[in-house]
Amino acid sequence: MKNYLIPSFALISIGIAPLSQATNGYQLTGIGSYEESLAGAVTAAPGSAMTAISNPAGMARIGKRADFSLEMFMPDRFVDFTAQGGDKSDSAATQYGVPALGWTAPLEDNDGDVYFGGGMYGTSGLGTDYGQTFMSPAQGPFPAMYFEGYSSIQFWQMAPTLAWNVNKKLTVGGSLNIDYQSVSLKQKFTGDTGGVAGIDSQDTVMASLDLSRTAQAFGYGISLGALYDVNDQLTLGFSYKSKQSFPDMEYQLGYGDITGNSNLGLNTGCTDVDVLTGRQFCPAGLYKLQLDFPAMIALGVAYSPVEAVTISLDVKQIQWSDTLDVLSITGPDGMRLDLPAGWEDQTVFALGVEYVVNQRLRLRAGYNQADAPIDEADVDNNLILPASVEKHYAVGGDFRMSKFWDLGFHYSTGSKNTLETSNPMSGASIGLDIRTIGLNLGYRF
């Protein structure tokens, strides 16, 4: 029991990460239907105004246009304690919507080489809701244990962008990332000490972290990109997004909203201690959580073996270890919790194919693969963050409805992947599968 709850308490902080949709970690595989239909293989193959996020140089390559996108994703997530005699719980949050819109046009005249654009883009988010779940029966001096968890995050980026066609082969671009995120979460471990089987009013909160009062913050960063045409068939792409820096997320907590337990090895550093139970009650006051978004770098190739077909390939790295290796919560009287999330850097491979059927219809398909940023040793630290999906498949296309308007669409799925903890005292497992569908309305000026 003790070995099980120590890492479980650590996961509380990282519940504020991804939405667990079509994502690498909690970064979307692509923004909008065009990018999603290619499974994110777009660094050298921009096709919509969402390229301000993936490669800002693309804003000077896609022509004068605006895009309006809405994605609906439907993740199925679970946490499973049955290996140690507990229960399995499915998240109650199963549907989310992510809008995005962007535009680009020449800075000075219709034939200019410098383009300006931008937009507002939903790039990631979270929604996990686990009710009271039986974790394990009584073991020796430890009572039967129950778990509950809730988390919610919204993450948006504005990206005013300048892109320049330096010559007929080279295009460069840059954007200022203006970020917004809101975060709320709550997680609690309860001991069945009331003398009645199941949850009742006399049961004891053994450990908890209640950050359900939503905190909000604005952050910032930059993105840089380049495109180079080797010849009429081959294009190379590069993009770099800096770490998106945020001030501390601030929470006004009440007495005992954070509760540790020294008998279980869950030490908070708070000094109000119940000697009999070992519980540590943290005082009311202002608490802070630091959470930035990691830097990313991508290289891409787009190749057209024949006029109607374009094959694109991306290799990306997301530097999760810089922001989600260890998270810290600080509070009154020097209180500090360093919580090990254990996320590792992630290398992503994406492959996309586009086929031009005729002047009005284009079809696309894509494949995206990346090892999960967590492994079996980190499962107990990520029970409410099942970022386990490693393979994504996508199809889509667009149809030109008129001289000015086109309608894009995509469908993607992530193959179900379950991670089982390497801790034999826990036996917990987490899992996720994903389906997404989206539409994009594009307008060409």
| pLDDT digits 0-9 by tens, 18-52 | 344 467 887 889 999 999 999 999 999 999 999 99
3-state secondary structure of 53: helix
Number of domains in the chain: 1
79-93, 183-197, 295-309: least confident range: 183-197
Say whether pLDDT at 298 is over 60: yes
* Both structure tokens of 410: 């995509």
The closest alpha carbon to 220, from 183, 245, 248, belongs to: 245
What tens digit of pLDDT does each residue of 78-93 get? 889 998 899 999 888 7
Buried b (16+ CB within 10 A) or exposed e, 295-312: bbbbebbbbbeeeeebeb
The β-bridge partners of 149 are 130, 187
Encode 297-364 in three state secondary structure: EEEEEEEEEECCEEEEEEEEEECCHHHHCEEEEECHHHCEEEEECCCCCEEEEEEEEEEECCCCEEEE
Say whether pLDDT at 4 is over 70: no
Residues 6+ away with beta carbon under 8 Å from 303: 233, 234, 235, 310, 311, 312
Residues 6+ away with beta carbon under 8 Å from 126: 15, 16, 17, 18, 19, 20, 26, 151, 152, 153, 385
In angstroms, the CA 279 to CA 270 distance is 10
Residue 271 domain boundaries: 2-444
Q: Check residue 397 and give its pLDDT.
A: 97
The closest alpha carbon to 218, from 170, 269, 180, 271, belongs to: 180
Length of the chain: 445
3-state secondary structure of 66: strand
The β-bridge partners of 286 are 252
Q: Check residue 58 and give its pLDDT.
A: 98
Classify burial at 41, counting beta carbons within 10 Å of its beta carbon; exposed 0-12, middle 13-18, buried 19 or more. buried
Q: Check residue 377 and give its pLDDT.
A: 87
Q: Check residue 197 and give its pLDDT.
A: 59
| CATH number of the domain that residue 271 is part of | 2.40.160.60
58-72, 341-355, 376-390: least confident range: 376-390
What tens digit of pLDDT does each residue of 313-372 get? 999 999 999 998 888 889 998 888 887 888 899 999 999 999 999 999 999 999 999 998
In angstroms, the CA 192 to CA 204 distance is 7
Residue 147 CA, distance from chain mean position: 23
* Both structure tokens of 293: 């978004």
pTM of the model as a whole? 0.88
